[in-house]
Structure 1
Amino acid sequence: MAKDSLTFHEVKIFAEHKQTMGHINVHLHSKRFSENIVCDNFVTVENDTLSVEDANLRVSFKFKDLMFESSTCRNLQYDRRGELTFTVQADKPNSETVSVAHRNHDQQDQYVREIKTYQDRCYCNVCGKKVLKDSCHFLRVMPLPSDNWSDFSDMWFCHNHSHSDGFGDTTDHKMSDLELKPKLKDCFVAETYFLVHSDQISPGSILPVQDACLSCRRCRNILGEVMPEKNGQSNGGGKIFKMLRSSVCFSPDLNFPDKEALQFSKEETECMFAKLVMEHSRVYTSFKLCVTTSTDRKQFDCLMWIIDPNLMIFTGSSNSDINILTPFTAVKVLFKTILERGASNESTGWKKDNSIHMITLPHSSCLSLVKILIDNCKTLPMKSRKHQEFNVGYLKFQKKANLPS
């Protein structure tokens, strides 16, 4: 709801329907509401339509799948910047019971099936350059457990583990030091990335490795990262590459998909993060999450508080006629990010808090997540973008995945 691009007659609307509470918060913004404009403005709420009118013009917004109770309108507030806010009771006509559980491992299993089917047709998501070899054929495509599986593995055994070093001596290893590493013909799939052997990468598809980052040679898109040497060495030699799910795509066509498919992938990335956040919140029964990076020598910590797991958002703008608003579903969060090592004392306190669940992601994925949150924060009304020292943002679910059965 940035006001810089508003014309005089244009009205912008941002509305949040809290489905569990049965009311909707409406934010209207227009230069016609400014105290410098001498005219009478009327806002009318009736059935499923909200109208703004004066002596010269009438603008109406029709809310899809929503009915207002006009007599419950309350909390009317006016801002001199031209913003008008109020709350009104609203319900879905069909009175459906809304599910808020989003099963992220279903998405992971679907990605495993996709890689098995189109494993040699992996492309950069930006320019379409082929990433994996034409001869790439995995014997095993397997889902990975959660990133912190090894932290609890010591509780699975009642004895110490020791391994011979070949000279008759034994060395003790903690299970928490172990990593799952794919062999040449393996592909291990996580929630936001997959692991492959470096020999499966198509020659000339990536730039020489710098700072552990893997970049597309054609468009410089960040495709992933090299696993650290201490655990990034496969059983058969060579390196292990961590390829980001948001940076590559597996296409069923011999030719790279069209531009519409690329634009859709941005929605897929945001939906992937939304499902990731909701799944970890559900499994670990925590509404406080801290996203940190698994990349060596990189600093990133983002504290997220889920304040509404299933919010219906209506947005639009117009200067005439009736406009139909179709909602999208999102998880609304408070977030605060630390990117510099100098502020590590605060992030250390987060990690020691038992009420905060940790999520570990590659550094590039962390940056993609915070960019989406910042971009979505900018779409909120000005006075709704901050809460104390936290920023306010949201992550959208795809329309086809909004209300899983």
Structure 2
Amino acid sequence: DLVLSLKESLKPQKNYVFYCQSCGDIIVKDRKFLRVLPLPSENWSALVEEWCCHPDPFARSTLHPRHDDCFLGDTFFLLNSGIESHLPKSPIVICKRCKTMLGETVSSDVIKYYVTEVIIRPSEGSFSPTPRSQFVQSMVAQCLVELSSAKSTFRFTIKGNDGKICILIWLLNSDTLLVESLGSSFSHGVFTQFGDIFMPTSGPVGTWNAVKVLYQPCIKSRNKE
């Protein structure tokens, strides 16, 4: 399956079903949004002083969706739980079937779902599972490309739930094309260079878009900070 970005897959005035990516259980059923709006970047509040000559006018306000809204962040989306269900007592939102962590509660009626844990499909469509590793890689690569394009930055950090940095990532190339021979094992991986294109000697060809990154795990035994 082609993994679409939230901006591409979510449109106003259409019904959607939200599935747990790990097991396919329905999280939110037949939800229609009147508004699908992008959120400011996660660190927008730190720049308010550069834009305002008076005290922060947004200090006491929060950007929370109403029942018919869906707010899109870089790595998450916000939904108003409305009358569908009661929010869990725990701040962590988990799948009822497989117990996978799906997101967290933001307020008494707002849930933050992570884009790597939920699949969104039109109500008239059907759910078809995508291998976990493939889905997560696609979503992370998509986020890196969109952020680098929007903010002209190529260095990122991935943080855990405790706020600590886990991985440092440097995006080197966003238009890499992987070519693989899908023929017999004898022809697999045998390529002939023709200009800047690699062609297999025999068998059909599979191609995938990919990003090239340099990463550094932040492990205590290897990195003190």
TM above 0.5: yes
**TM-superposition CA deviations, 1:303-356 (whole Å, max 9, x none):** 11223332222345713693344332211111112266x98852xxxxxxxxxx
Residue 186 of structure 1 is matched in structure 2 by 69
Distance 1:202 1:244 in 2: 19
After TM superposition, the runs of 4+ consecutive aligned structure 1 residues lying more than 6 A away are none
Contact 2:15–2:33, Cα closer than 8 Å, also in 1? no
Q: Does 1:110 align with 2:15?
A: no
Amino acid at match of 1:131: I
Picking from 148, 158, 162, the partner of 2:53 is: 158
Residue 195 of structure 1 is matched in structure 2 by 78
Amino acid at match of 2:139: M
Cα distance 1:123–1:326, how it changes in 2: closer, same or farther (>3 A)? closer
Distance 1:250 1:280 in 2: 21
Aligned-residue offset at 1:242: 0.6
Cα distance 1:137–1:109, how it changes in 2: closer, same or farther (>3 A)? closer
Aligned-residue offset at 1:266: 6.0
Distance 1:197 1:269 in 2: 25
Picking from 201, 223, 228, the partner of 2:102 is: 223
Distance 1:283 1:145 in 2: 12
**TM-superposition CA deviations, 1:217-238 (whole Å, max 9, x none):** 11222221223xxxxx3xxxx2
Q: Does 1:148 align with 2:15?
A: no
| Equivalent position SS for 1:326 | strand
| Equivalent position SS for 1:322 | coil
| Equivalent position SS for 2:122 | coil
Distance 1:131 1:216 in 2: 7
Aligned length: 207
Distance 2:14 2:206 in 1: 35
Picking from 167, 170, 175, the partner of 1:302 is: 167
Distance 1:116 1:221 in 2: 30
Distance 1:276 1:255 in 2: 25
| Equivalent position SS for 1:127 | coil
Distance 1:325 1:252 in 2: 31
| Equivalent position SS for 1:181 | coil
Cα distance 1:308–1:128, how it changes in 2: closer, same or farther (>3 A)? closer
Residue 335 of structure 1 is matched in structure 2 by 215
Q: Does 1:277 align with 2:168?
A: no
Distance 2:204 2:22 in 1: 33
Q: Does 1:243 align with 2:126?
A: no
Aligned-residue offset at 1:192: 2.7
Contact 2:13–2:34, Cα closer than 8 Å, also in 1? no
Contact 2:155–2:171, Cα closer than 8 Å, also in 1? yes
Contact 1:193–1:242, Cα closer than 8 Å, also in 2? yes
Cα distance 1:344–1:199, how it changes in 2: closer, same or farther (>3 A)? farther
Please list, as runs of the form range in 1=range in 2, the aligned pairs for 1:40-189 lying within 5 A after superposition.
107-113=5-11, 116-119=13-16, 121-132=17-28, 136-161=31-56, 175=59, 179-189=62-72
| Equivalent position SS for 1:128 | coil
**TM-superposition CA deviations, 1:141-170 (whole Å, max 9, x none):** 3221222222212222211247xxxxxxxx
Distance 1:112 1:324 in 2: 34
Distance 1:269 1:184 in 2: 28
Amino acid at match of 1:299: K
Contact 1:116–1:141, Cα closer than 8 Å, also in 2? no
Contact 2:49–2:56, Cα closer than 8 Å, also in 1? no
The normalised TM-score by structure 1 is 0.43
The normalised TM-score by structure 2 is 0.71
Cα distance 1:315–1:253, how it changes in 2: closer, same or farther (>3 A)? same
| Equivalent position SS for 1:276 | helix
Greater radius of gyration (CA): 1
Contact 2:77–2:115, Cα closer than 8 Å, also in 1? yes
Gaps of 5+ in 1: 1-105, 163-173, 228-232, 347-405
Gaps of 5+ in 2: 188-200
| Equivalent position SS for 1:308 | strand
Aligned-residue offset at 1:265: 7.8
**TM-superposition CA deviations, 1:14-47 (whole Å, max 9, x none):** xxxxxxxxxxxxxxxxxxxxxxxxxxxxxxxxxx
Cα distance 1:128–1:331, how it changes in 2: closer, same or farther (>3 A)? closer
Distance 1:117 1:266 in 2: 29
Amino acid at match of 1:194: F
Distance 1:150 1:214 in 2: 26
Q: Of Structure 1 and Structure 2, which has the larger fraction of its residues in helix?
A: 1
Amino acid at match of 2:39: L
| Equivalent position SS for 1:263 | coil
